[in-house]
C-alpha cells in the first residue's frame, strides 16, 4: 500500500537526518526501492517533521536562549523579570552566519544538485566521502568550547561551509557540521547540539520557499501522504537525536562510517545489477 511506502520514507528521513549517514542519500535510494518517484514537496514536508523533532527535543534550550536574546528588550520596557546572559543573542548570530553558505550554495548550484539526485553513482561517491569524514573524527575529543559564548564567529562560518556541502545527496549534513565543530574546537556534545539547532534555519527556509512556490500539496491523498511522512519522521527523529547524543559522549562514529560505506556499495549494486 502507498500509505506504508510513504510511512517508510518518513521513517528513513527521521532516522538519517540526524544520524550522520545522509538523509538525502538514503531518501533518494528509498524512493527508488519503494517505486515512488521523488517529490520535492513530500521531501520538504518530511524534513519539517525532523525540524519539529529538534524543536520538541530542544524546547527548553530554545526557550532559554530565546528569552535571553529578548531580555534587553524586556528590561527596556521595565519588566521585572531579568535573565542571566547565556548567549541567546550570540547563538542567533552564529546560526545566521552558519546558514548563509548553505543558502548561497543552494542558489548557485541548484542544477548540479538536481543532477546528483538522479545519479546513483554520485550518491554512492558522496556516501563514501561521508564515511571517510566520520572515520577522521571518530575518537577525537574536540576542544573546550561548550556553548555559544565561547564560540568565535569564524567557527560558525566554517561550520556553515561544511554544511553547504551537504546539499549534495550522500553528504551528511549532521556529519559534516559535527566534524567541522569538533575540528575547530567545539566539544563533541556542543558540536552535536549546535548541529541540531543549525538544521532549523535550513529546513524552515526550504519549507517556506517551497510553500511560496506552491510546490506542497496539502489536500487529498498528497496531503495525507505528507501527514504520514511528517508523523513518522518526527517520531523517529526524536529517537535519532537521543541516540546521536549518546554516541557523541563516547565519540565513536566508526559504526556510522561503516554504514555509509555499506550503503554506498548497496546503492551501486541496486543500480548496476538490479537496475533499481
Model confidence at 191, pLDDT cuts 50, 70, 90, reads very high
What pLDDT does 81 receive?
43
Three-state DSSP state, 187: strand
| Cα–Cα dist 171/175, whole Å | 8
The answer to whether 116 touches 126, Cβ cutoff 8 Å, is yes
| Cα–Cα dist 143/8, whole Å | 38
Residue 114 has pLDDT above 90, yes or no: no
Number of helices (H), then strands (E), belonging to the chain: the values are 12, 0
Would you put residue 139 in left (φ > 0), alpha (ψ -120 to 50) or beta?
Answer: left
Model confidence at 72, pLDDT cuts 50, 70, 90, reads low
Phi/psi of residue 186, nearest 5 degrees? -85, 145
Please give the C-alpha separations between residue 98 and each of 55, 71, 158, 162, 275, in angstroms, as whole numbers: 18, 23, 8, 9, 39
Separation of first and last alpha carbons in the chain:
19
For residue 39, give the C-alpha cell: 517529490
Cβ–Cβ contacts within 10 Å for residue 66, how many? 13
What pLDDT does 221 receive?
54
Whole-model pTM: value is: 0.90
What is the separation of C-alpha 61 from the centre of its chain, rounded to a whole number of angstroms?
A: 18
Q: Per DSSP, what are the bridge partners of residue 145?
A: 186
What pLDDT does 215 receive?
57
Model confidence at 104, pLDDT cuts 50, 70, 90, reads very high
Spatial CB neighbours of 263, under 8 Å, sequence gap ≥ 6: 21, 25, 26, 29, 127
Amino acid at each position: 500500500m502507498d500509505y506504508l511506502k510513504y510511512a517508510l520514507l518518513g521513517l528513513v528521513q527521521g532516522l538519517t537526518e540526524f544520524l550522520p549517514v545522509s538523509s538525502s542519500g538514503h531518501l533518494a535510494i528509498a524512493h527508488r526501492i519503494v517505486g515512488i518517484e521523488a517529490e520535492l514537496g513530500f521531501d520538504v514536508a518530511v524534513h519539517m517533521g525532523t525540524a519539529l523533532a529538534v524543536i520538541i527535543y530542544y524546547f527548553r534550550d530554545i526557550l532559554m536562549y530565546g528569552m535571553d536574546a529578548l531580555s534587553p528588550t524586556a528590561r527596556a520596557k521595565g519588566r521585572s523579570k531579568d535573565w542571566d546572559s547565556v548567549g541567546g543573542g550570540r547563538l542567533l548570530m552564529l546560526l545566521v552566519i552558519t546558514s548563509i553558505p548553505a543558502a548561497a550554495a543552494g542558489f548557485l548550484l541548484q542544477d548540479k544538485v538536481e543532477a546528483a539526485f538522479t545519479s546513483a553513482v554520485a550518491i554512492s561517491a558522496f556516501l563514501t566521502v561521508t564515511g571517510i569524514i566520520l572515520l577522521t573524527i571518530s575518537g577525537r575529543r574536540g576542544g573546550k568550547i561548550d556553548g555559544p559564548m565561547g564560540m568565535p564567529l569564524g567557527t560558525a562560518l566554517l561550520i556553515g561551509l561544511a554544511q553547504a556541502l551537504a546539499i549534495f545527496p550522500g553528504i551528511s549534513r549532521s556529519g559534516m557540521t559535527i566534524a567541522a565543530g569538533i575540528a575547530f574546537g567545539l566539544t563533541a556534545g556542543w558540536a552535536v547540539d549546535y548541529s541540531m539547532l543549525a538544521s532549523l534555519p535550513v529546513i524552515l527556509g526550504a519549507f517556506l520557499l517551497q510553500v511560496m512556490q506552491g510546490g506542497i500539496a496539502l489536500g487529498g491523498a498528497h496531503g495525507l501522504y505528507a501527514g504520514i511522512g511528517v508523523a513518522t519522521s518526527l517520531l523517529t527523529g526524536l529517537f535519532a537525536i537521543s541516540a546521536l547524543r549518546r554516541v557523541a559522549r563516547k565519540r565513536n562514529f566508526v559504526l556510522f562510517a561503516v554504514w555509509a560505506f555499506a550503503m554506498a556499495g548497496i546503492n551501486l549494486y541496486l543500480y548496476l545489477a538490479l537496475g533499481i
